[in-house]
């Protein structure tokens, strides 16, 4: 039985971006029916794990110009400046909107919203809800979305493929997990908000669900993945698990020290350290409040110099917040304390926390314009799965949560406009596409026996190749090896067979589909890293050391899928008022 | 010890072949720093790919991986094997919920209950502050008065600890009522009266017999039992107030 | 396909763990407290009928079974009071600015009040 479900607008992904878009659509036109398809219940989405905060200019002494400049310089000039400008301009309104929807922002004594310093930002502009900002934002959005009747959720439906009719995106096929049935969900416009792909790497802050499904769906439908060589390592994750210790711990005054007790960042052109008792500490855009790419790179240099600790799970340094005192730690970063106590048995009130860089965020993603529109009519993308691009070669901490809101709202509005201007899709011809997809999944996975490969083997090999080839420092040989490995793994993936041949809630099937998605993206990411012959932001090539090469590489990369692997093209960066300049911190 | 083992007894149920659940035993390598979820993942990856359960963030904030661990509802990403080793660990789906498959429960009624308390900020029609005028002011003390109730991750451990949810399927339950109270307590909210319809009903607070276990098992110290009792006191005061001759009817 | 399994709720659910058993005892305690209140009402009514009736009532209680019964009633009354005293901080949340008054203080004030009232009664009775 083929079933087609019809809506006016379809959103794939129920995290921060998807929910913001859904609300934007419901408010723009209450007569539209909106579908939110998500492989997990919305409150399980990875937005929930974001900790430190969300940036928007609010203080009178701050300025939009400064936020724009911080973002562009943080991005090592690879961000599109028109997009950054729109983002920064709309950020305060969006953040206030979330306040009006009940988000429990931390407050100043006078009742106004409090802001904290963050890495790479010139002034305090990061709104926060203690250190569970993402959690509170997601729950506020989810709970608010419940009041809009036109929003119909398809929780625990796994989208597998875009439905395309005459070059226009008109929906997706999705597996209803509890029955295992593949259904078509058809709509006048589709917005992908499926998050990043941190699970390509073995050591990541990212949740298990971050497998780049939406990126892969768009990529396979012929849309380019942009700037996939740029991935962010967060400088402070717990060894072993990779659990995130928020940048807010440094924003509140925490310091990084090596095994000699030395605040090593001062040796890497990030400014002079102030004593932690100095009222000026922590200094903005300096030392521990430098950008994430540089801090992670400093760690590797320290490790190479033999000045890091060595433990069961590799090298690490210390993040010391003891001087903040129990009261401040409990008030400002209670989750840091909870996580450190639970997962490494250390109470940060009394002892420094062991930390090391950990894969955190994929700057690249589905190529979109400033409104979230992709090159395929009817298809939009928002959030970590998309690349607008405001993050360039390195995202500043606390910009991504705001990005979900600003571009979620924008894409929602654009999708409404698009759907209104188009005729309703014809469902008849789509039934065949849905049937084909059901047969493909049945043939390739559910009914298949006698395969020789296990998912875990392939996934582990993919993780290892990404870590060694497409990590903090790269070179031609390593990235090439990763490309070759992904091609090999894609071949071997054809020989996967599953233990689980049933339809009911088959999570081994979804794991297989996720791995298939990740291999596609991993291949694009490693080739993009191989092709870009310069060092910029988070993309550091040891064979093409800094400074960056604006003459040849001030441009985005676009990876297109072909049957023989990705093809890389290039696109100019939009430069408006901020000509490329030297990126300096700590002066 | 690298070759030490630990035994997991896992309740399995397959809707396509089983009439009712039964236990299956797995031997898992013992690592002192593994959580129960690590052991379950190891089984799925290396021994039996059909084992079915939910998980995601593995840092105690997404709320997916709640299960009964030796009879107590716990987040399996936050329970270490060393709490039990060398004794075996019994893993079951969250109590009082219908089971979809193995350790996956049916959440439909929980989601409906969450929605029923109107968990969003409600303002009187003419009292919405325009966005241009900025945020609603809220003092740190006002924030503190509801913050605890806003920490719920919807993991449903409290439902699995509450016998009333097993006895009365209509019981709105701890997490949902606490969420309603979270908004009632919020100084920006004006929707208490609308929520009282559900919260002050027989199916909500008056079904609670104050076993108190919901607050004991809550991994985020939300204290839903407290929220419910406070709602009872307030609703009782409402009722007495309504009897007073000068109260507007 | 979807065919959820709904686990049955056994009649012995209250015997599943210590917390449930303690809860049932607390619930049961109200029965004993109520019985004692009835007894007290009877006693008051006898007192109203004169000294002889009162003496006879007291005498009728003068046997080991009644003593045992009263010990049990006392135990339940104590259980009832203690469990409820300990639960008051959940019901009565007192805030001073951002800080919550600690649970120990809220529960402790119950015990103090109980002690004061008991002493007062004892003082009145002993005259």
Q: What CATH number is attached to the domain comprising B167?
A: 1.10.1060.10
Q: What is the pLDDT of residues A353-390, one digit of tens each?
A: 999 999 999 999 999 999 999 999 999 999 999 999 99
Which pLDDT score, from 0 to 100, does residue B246 have?
86
End-to-end CA distance of chain A: 66
What domains lie within chain C, and their CATH numbers?
14-126 (1.20.1300.10)
Q: At what angle do helices A507-531 and A213-220 cross, to 10 degrees?
A: 70
Instruction: Quote the CA–CA distance of B161 and B164 in Å, as a whole number.
Output: 9
Residue B120 falls inside a structural domain? yes
Residue B210 is classified by DSSP as -
B132 and B46 in one domain? no
Among A337, A312, A508, smallest CA distance to B34 is for: A312
Cβ(A21)–Cβ(A193) below 8 Å = yes
CA of C4 vs chain A CAs: smallest distance (Å): 10
Residue B179 falls inside a structural domain? yes
B98 and B124 in one domain? no
Using a 10 angstrom Cβ sphere, with 0-12 exposed, 13-18 middle and 19 or more buried, the burial of residue A572 is exposed
Cβ(A17)–Cβ(A383) below 8 Å = yes
B10 and B125 in one domain? no
Q: Is A106 on the interface with B (CB under 8 A)?
A: yes
Other beta carbons within 10 Å of B179: 27
The CA distances from residue A192 to A44, A195, A196, A425, in Å, are 17, 9, 11, 18
Beta bridge pairs of residue B101: B104
Which pLDDT score, from 0 to 100, does residue B2 have?
60
Instruction: Quote the CA–CA distance of A283 and A266 in Å, as a whole number.
Output: 13
B116 and B87 in one domain? no
Which pLDDT score, from 0 to 100, does residue B58 have?
96
Chains that touch A (3 or more CB pairs under 8 A): B, C
Instruction: Categorize the per-residue pLDDT at A272 as very low, low, confident or very high, splitting at 50, 70 and 90.
Output: very high
Q: Is B109 on the interface with C (CB under 8 A)?
A: no
Asked if B145 lies within 8 A of C5 by C-beta distance, the reply is no
Asked if B167 lies within 8 A of C13 by C-beta distance, the reply is yes
Other beta carbons within 10 Å of B246: 5
Count of domains in chain B? Answer: 2
Using an 8 Å CB-CB cutoff, list chain C residues near A504: 1-3
Chain A residues with CB under 8 Å of a chain C CB are 178-180, 503-504
Cβ(A88)–Cβ(A68) below 8 Å = yes
Using an 8 Å CB-CB cutoff, list chain B residues near A456: 45-46
Using an 8 Å CB-CB cutoff, list chain C residues near B109: none
Using an 8 Å CB-CB cutoff, list chain A residues near C1: 179-180, 503-504
Other beta carbons within 10 Å of C49: 11
Cβ(B95)–Cβ(B73) below 8 Å = yes
- Summarize the confidence of residues A48-74 as an average pLDDT: 97
In which domain, by residue range, is B113 found? 108-243
Cβ(A119)–Cβ(A286) below 8 Å = no
Q: What is the pLDDT of residues A2-42, one digit of tens each?
A: 689 999 999 999 999 999 999 999 999 999 999 999 999 99
Using a 10 angstrom Cβ sphere, with 0-12 exposed, 13-18 middle and 19 or more buried, the burial of residue C73 is middle
Asked if B50 lies within 8 A of A499 by C-beta distance, the reply is yes
B89-92 and B66-69 as β-strands: parallel, antiparallel, unpaired?
Answer: antiparallel
The CA distances from residue A407 to A88, A161, A193, A334, A474, in Å, are 11, 23, 10, 30, 31
What b/e sequence results for A435-472 when a residue is b if at least 16 CB atoms lie within 10 Å of its CB, and e otherwise?
eebbeebeebbbeeeeeeebbbebbeebbebbbebbbb
Q: Which residues contact B130 (CB under 8 A, 6 or more apart)?
A: none
Q: What is the pLDDT of residues A301-345, one digit of tens each?
A: 999 999 999 999 999 999 999 999 999 999 999 999 999 999 999
Q: Is A49 on the interface with B (CB under 8 A)?
A: yes
**Of A264-268, A578-582, C96-100, minimum mean pLDDT range:** C96-100
B124 and B88 in one domain? no
Task: State the number of CA atoms in the 13 A half-sphere of C24 facing the CB.
Answer: 10
Q: Mean pLDDT, chain A, as a whole number?
A: 97
Q: Which residue has the tokens 């878009």?
A: A21
Instruction: Categorize the per-residue pLDDT at A98 as very low, low, confident or very high, splitting at 50, 70 and 90.
Output: very high
Asked if A504 lies within 8 A of B14 by C-beta distance, the reply is yes
Alpha-carbon dihedral sign for residues A445, A446, A447, A453? positive
The alpha-carbon radius of gyration of chain B (Å, integer) is: 22
CA of B30 vs chain A CAs: smallest distance (Å): 16
Among B28, C42, B150, smallest CA distance to A138 is for: B150
Nearest to C98 among B20, B141, B213 (CB): B141
B237 and B158 in one domain? yes
Using an 8 Å CB-CB cutoff, list chain B residues near C14: 163
Q: How many residues does chain C have?
A: 127
Among B105, B130, B165, which residue terminates a domain?
Answer: B105
Q: What is the pLDDT of residues A120-130, one digit of tens each?
A: 999 999 999 99
Residue B248 falls inside a structural domain? no
Residue A320 is classified by DSSP as E
Q: Is B90 on the interface with A (CB under 8 A)?
A: no
A407 phi-psi bin (left φ>0, alpha ψ -120 to 50, beta other): alpha
Report the number of secondary-structure helices (H) and strands (E) in chain B.
9, 7
A353-362 and A231-237 as β-strands: parallel, antiparallel, unpaired?
Answer: antiparallel
Q: Which residues contact A431 (CB under 8 A, 6 or more apart)?
A: A2, A4, A184
B235 and B196 in one domain? yes
Helices (H), B8-136: 36-46, 108-116
CA of A352 vs chain B CAs: smallest distance (Å): 19
What is the SS3 string spanning A271-304? CCCCCCCCCCCCCCCCHHHCCHHHHHHHHHHHHH
Instruction: Quote the CA–CA distance of B138 and B58 in Å, as a whole number.
Output: 33
CA of B91 vs chain C CAs: smallest distance (Å): 15
In the three-class reduction of DSSP (H, G, I as helix; E, B as strand; rest coil), residue B70 is classed as coil
Which pLDDT score, from 0 to 100, does residue A14 have?
98
Residue B233 falls inside a structural domain? yes
C99-100 and C95-96 as β-strands: parallel, antiparallel, unpaired?
Answer: antiparallel
**Below-70 pLDDT ranges, chain B:** 1-2, 249
Among B53, B87, B105, which residue terminates a domain?
Answer: B105
Q: Is B221 on the interface with C (CB under 8 A)?
A: no
B99 and B43 in one domain? yes
Instruction: Categorize the per-residue pLDDT at C1 as very low, low, confident or very high, splitting at 50, 70 and 90.
Output: confident
B222 and B118 in one domain? yes
Asked if C20 lies within 8 A of B96 by C-beta distance, the reply is no
Chain C residues with CB under 8 Å of a chain B CB are 1-7, 9, 13-14, 16-17, 19-20, 23, 27, 87, 89-93, 95, 97-100
The alpha-carbon radius of gyration of chain C (Å, integer) is: 22
Q: Which residue has the tokens 């090159």?
A: A375
Using an 8 Å CB-CB cutoff, list chain C residues near A330: none
Q: What is the pLDDT of residues B153-182, one digit of tens each?
A: 999 999 999 999 999 999 999 999 999 999
Instruction: Quote the CA–CA distance of A468 and C61 in Å, as a whole number.
Output: 87
Nearest to A208 among B52, B56, B153 (CB): B56
B113 and B230 in one domain? yes
Asked if A49 lies within 8 A of B78 by C-beta distance, the reply is no
Among A120, A6, A11, smallest CA distance to A414 is for: A11
Alpha-carbon dihedral sign for residues A160, A162, A165, A166? negative
B184 and B166 in one domain? yes
Q: Is A109 on the interface with B (CB under 8 A)?
A: yes
Residue B134 falls inside a structural domain? yes
CA of C18 vs chain A CAs: smallest distance (Å): 26
What is the SS3 string spanning A431-458? HHHHHHHHHHHHHHHHCCCCCCECHHHH
Asked if C2 lies within 8 A of B15 by C-beta distance, the reply is yes
Residue B228 falls inside a structural domain? yes
Asked if A106 lies within 8 A of B143 by C-beta distance, the reply is yes
- Summarize the confidence of residues A388-404 as an average pLDDT: 97
Cβ(B101)–Cβ(B14) below 8 Å = yes
Q: Encoding tokens for residue A119?
A: 């890495």
Which pLDDT score, from 0 to 100, does residue A235 have?
98
Using an 8 Å CB-CB cutoff, list chain A residues near B114: 146
Asked if C98 lies within 8 A of B99 by C-beta distance, the reply is no
Among B74, B105, B136, which residue terminates a domain?
Answer: B105
Using a 10 angstrom Cβ sphere, with 0-12 exposed, 13-18 middle and 19 or more buried, the burial of residue C123 is exposed
B221 and B132 in one domain? yes
Chains that touch C (3 or more CB pairs under 8 A): A, B
End-to-end CA distance of chain C: 78
Catalytic residues of A: 234, 250
Using an 8 Å CB-CB cutoff, list chain A residues near C3: 504
Residue B181 falls inside a structural domain? yes
Residue B132 falls inside a structural domain? yes
What domains lie within chain A, and their CATH numbers?
4-230+363-428 (3.50.50.60), 237-357 (3.90.700.10), 432-544 (1.20.58.100)
Q: Is B144 on the interface with A (CB under 8 A)?
A: no
Using CA coordinates, name the residue in chain A closest to C1: A179
CA of A188 vs chain B CAs: smallest distance (Å): 28
């Amino acid at each position: 039985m083929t079933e087609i479900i019809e809506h006016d607008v379809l959103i794939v992904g129920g995290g921060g971006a998807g929910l913001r878009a859904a609300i934007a659509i419901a408010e723009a036109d209450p007569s539209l029916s909106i579908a939110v398809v998500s492989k997990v219940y919305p409150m399980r989405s990875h937005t929930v794990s974001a900790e430190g905060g969300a940036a928007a200019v609010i203080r009178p002494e701050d300025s939009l110009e400064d936020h724009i400049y911080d973002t562009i310089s943080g991005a090592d000039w690879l961000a599109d400046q028109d997009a950054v400008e729109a983002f920064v301009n709309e950020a305060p309104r969006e953040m206030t909107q979330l306040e009006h929807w009940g988000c429990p922002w931390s407050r100043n004594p006078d009742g106004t919203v409090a802001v904290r310093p963050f890495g790479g930002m010139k002034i305090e502009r990061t709104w926060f809800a203690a250190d569970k900002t993402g959690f509170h934002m997601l729950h506020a959005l989810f709970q608010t979305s419940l009041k809009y009747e036109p929003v119909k959720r398809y929780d625990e439906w796994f989208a597998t493929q875009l439905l395309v009719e005459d070059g226009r995106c008109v929906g997706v096929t999705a597996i209803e997990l509890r029955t295992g049935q593949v259904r078509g969900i058809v709509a006048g416009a589709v917005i992908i908000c499926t998050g990043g792909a941190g699970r390509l790497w073995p050591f990541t802050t990212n949740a298990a669900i971050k497998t780049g499904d939406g990126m892969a769906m768009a990529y396979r439908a012929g849309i380019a993945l942009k700037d996939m060589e740029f991935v962010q390592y967060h400088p402070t994750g717990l060894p072993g698990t990779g659990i995130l210790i928020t940048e807010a711990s440094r924003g509140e005054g925490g310091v990084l020290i090596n095994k000699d007790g030395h605040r090593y960042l001062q040796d890497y052109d990030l400014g002079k350290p102030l004593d932690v008792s100095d009222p000026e500490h922590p200094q903005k855009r300096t030392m521990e409040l430098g950008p994430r790419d540089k801090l992670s790179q400093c760690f590797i240099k320290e490790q190479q110099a033999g000045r890091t600790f060595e433990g069961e799970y590799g090298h690490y340094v210390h993040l010391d917040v003891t001087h903040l005192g129990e009261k401040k730690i409990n008030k400002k970063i209670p989750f840091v304390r909870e996580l450190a106590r639970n997962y490494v048995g250390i109470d940060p009130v009394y002892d420094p926390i062991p930390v090391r860089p950990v894969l955190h965020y994929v700057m690249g993603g589905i190529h979109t314009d400033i409104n979230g529109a992709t090159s395929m009519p009817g298809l939009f993308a928002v959030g970590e799965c998309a690349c607008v691009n405001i993050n360039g070669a390195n995202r500043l901490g606390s910009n991504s949560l705001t990005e979900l809101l600003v571009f979620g709202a924008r894409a929602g509005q654009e999708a409404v406009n698009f759907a209104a201007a188009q005729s309703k899709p014809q469902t008849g011809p789509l039934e065949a596409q849905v049937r084909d997809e059901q047969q493909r999944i049945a043939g390739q996975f559910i009914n298949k026996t006698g395969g020789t490969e296990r998912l875990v083997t392939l996934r582990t090999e993919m993780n290892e190749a990404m870590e060694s080839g497409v990590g903090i420092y790269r070179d031609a040989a390593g990235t090439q090896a990763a490309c070759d490995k992904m091609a090999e793994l894609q071949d071997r993936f054809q020989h996967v067979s599953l233990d689980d041949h049933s339809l009911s809630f088959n999570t081994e099937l979804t794991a297989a589909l996720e791995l298939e998605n990740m291999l596609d993206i991993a291949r694009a990411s490693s080739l993009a890293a191989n092709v870009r012959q310069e060092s910029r932001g988070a993309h550091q090539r040891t064979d093409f050391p800094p400074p960056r090469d604006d003459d040849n590489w001030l441009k985005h990369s676009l990876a297109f899928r072909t049957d023989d692997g990705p093809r890389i093209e290039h696109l100019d960066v939009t430069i408006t008022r901020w000509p490329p300049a030297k990126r300096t911190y700590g002066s | 010890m690298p070759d030490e083992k630990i035994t997991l007894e896992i309740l399995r149920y397959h809707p396509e072949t089983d009439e009712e659940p039964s236990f299956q035993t797995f031997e898992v390598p013992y690592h002192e720093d593994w959580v129960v979820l690590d052991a379950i993942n190891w089984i799925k990856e290396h021994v039996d790919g059909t084992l079915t359960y939910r998980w995601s963030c593995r840092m105690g904030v997404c709320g997916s991986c709640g299960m009964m661990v030796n009879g107590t509802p716990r987040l399996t990403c936050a329970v270490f094997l060393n709490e039990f080793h060398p004794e075996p660990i019994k893993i079951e789906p969250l109590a009082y919920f219908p089971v979809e498959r193995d350790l996956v429960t049916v959440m439909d009624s929980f989601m409906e209950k969450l929605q029923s308390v109107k968990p969003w900020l409600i303002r009187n029609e003419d009292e919405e502050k325009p966005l241009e005028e900025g945020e609603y002011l809220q003092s740190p003390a006002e924030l503190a008065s509801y913050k605890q109730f806003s920490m719920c991750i919807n993991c449903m451990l409290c439902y699995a600890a509450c016998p009333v949810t097993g006895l009365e399927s209509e019981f709105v339950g701890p997490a949902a009522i606490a969420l309603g109270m979270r908004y009632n307590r919020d100084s920006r909210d004006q929707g208490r009266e609308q929520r009282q319809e559900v919260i002050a009903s027989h199916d909500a607070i008056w079904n609670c017999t104050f076993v108190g276990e919901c607050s004991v098992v809550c991994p985020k110290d939300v204290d839903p039992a407290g929220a419910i009792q406070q709602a009872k006191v307030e609703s009782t005061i409402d009722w007495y107030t309504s009897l007073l001759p000068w109260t507007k009817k | 396909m979807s065919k959820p399994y709904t686990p049955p709720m056994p009649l012995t659910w209250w015997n599943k763990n210590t917390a449930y058993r303690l809860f049932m005892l607390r619930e049961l305690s109200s029965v004993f407290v109520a019985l004692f209140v009835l007894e007290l009402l009877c006693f008051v009514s006898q007192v109203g009928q004169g000294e002889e009736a009162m003496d006879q009532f007291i005498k009728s209680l003068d046997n080991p079974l009644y003593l045992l019964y009263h010990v049990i009633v006392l135990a339940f009354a104590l259980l009832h009071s203690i469990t409820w005293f300990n639960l008051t901080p959940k019901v009565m949340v007192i805030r001073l600015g951002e800080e919550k008054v600690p649970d120990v203080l809220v529960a402790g004030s119950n015990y103090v009040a109980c002690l004061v009232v008991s002493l007062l009664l004892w003082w009145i009775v002993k005259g």
